[in-house]
């Protein structure tokens, strides 16, 4: 499931994050890539273990915790703390697949299974040319370039790339999530059901018998399919 989540960050949030990033130390992005990805990766990142990296990562995690669409679609169990990257003119990231397992920093060696990838755009589409997130699948390529503050979530199994930036600078936050639900198909079913329940509740009330019955179905499916 490919899902656009609007307005994860407010204008004030963006101003705060971007002002902090302006003063940050950017390092070679290949430091967080796997062996295959590093060969195709040309970008800059804020060092994950830096004080700024930890501070801004915590800020993003708090925003995600209160975002109903993200939580409904992803059903997060564990999240790798968000990272921050930058693509200046001439930088790109060739087609690659993200690692199936990733360590959680400062966790004593704990790793997560990467089920869902997320990119949160910190630069507006008028601030750079090129730099599209390209999702490659059997139907071709999907080019994604969202407003600043918006986020795209997609299965980590997808082959993807970042096209070369030809003007300006593209800034974003990105991270991976292990879902309570391993199966992408089951996550999609639960998301569609959850969204339908919420819409029906708005129309007829949360105490309507059909709403209560569907809510029961949702939680029973979550109970059957979830992995803790």
Phi, psi of 88 (to 5 degrees): -90, 180
Cα distances from 190 to residues 3, 106, 193, 207, in angstroms, run 14, 32, 5, 20
Closest by CA position to 198, among listed 69, 6, 70: 69
144-166: b or e for each residue (b if 16 or more CB lie within 10 Å)? bbbebbbbbbbbbebebbbbbbe
Q: Using CA atoms, how far apart are residues 124 and 106, in angstroms rounded to an integer?
A: 32
219 is in an annotated binding site: no
Pull the structure tokens for residue 30.
Answer: 């290949």
**Helix and strand totals (H; E) in the chain:** 6, 17
111 annotated to bind ligand: no
Residues 91/165, Cβ–Cβ less than 8 Å: yes
Tokens standing for 194?
A: 């959850």
Say whether 98 counts as a known binding-site residue: yes
Residue 170 labelled as part of a binding site: yes
Measured between alpha carbons, how far is 74 from 78 in angstroms, rounded to an integer?
Answer: 11
Binding site listing: 96, 98, 160, 170
Binding site listing for 2-oxoglutarate: 170
Binding site listing for Fe cation: 96, 98, 160
């Amino acid at each position: 499931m490919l899902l656009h989540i609007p307005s994860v960050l407010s204008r004030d949030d963006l101003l705060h994050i971007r002002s902090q990033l302006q003063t940050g130390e950017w390092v070679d992005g290949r430091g967080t890539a796997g062996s295959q990805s590093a060969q195709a990766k040309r970008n800059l990142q804020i060092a994950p273990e830096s004080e700024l990296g930890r501070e801004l990562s915590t800020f993003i995690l708090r925003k995600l915790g209160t975002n109903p669409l993200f939580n409904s679609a992803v059903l997060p169990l564990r999240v790798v703390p968000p990272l921050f990257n930058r693509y200046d003119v001439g930088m790109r990231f060739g087609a690659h697949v993200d690692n199936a397992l990733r360590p959680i920093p400062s966790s004593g060696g704990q790793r997560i299974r990467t089920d869902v990838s997320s990119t949160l755009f910190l630069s507006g589409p008028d601030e750079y040319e090129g730099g599209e997130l390209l999702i490659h699948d059997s139907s071709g390529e999907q080019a994604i370039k969202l407003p600043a503050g918006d986020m795209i979530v997609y299965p980590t199994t997808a082959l993807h790339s970042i096209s070369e930036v030809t003007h300006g600078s593209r800034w974003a936050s990105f991270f991976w999530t292990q879902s309570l639900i391993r199966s992408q198909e089951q996550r999609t079913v639960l998301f569609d059901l959850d969204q339908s329940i919420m819409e029906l509740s708005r129309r007829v009330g949360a105490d309507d018998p059909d709403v209560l019955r569907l809510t029961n179905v949702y939680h029973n499916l979550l109970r059957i399919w979830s992995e803790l």
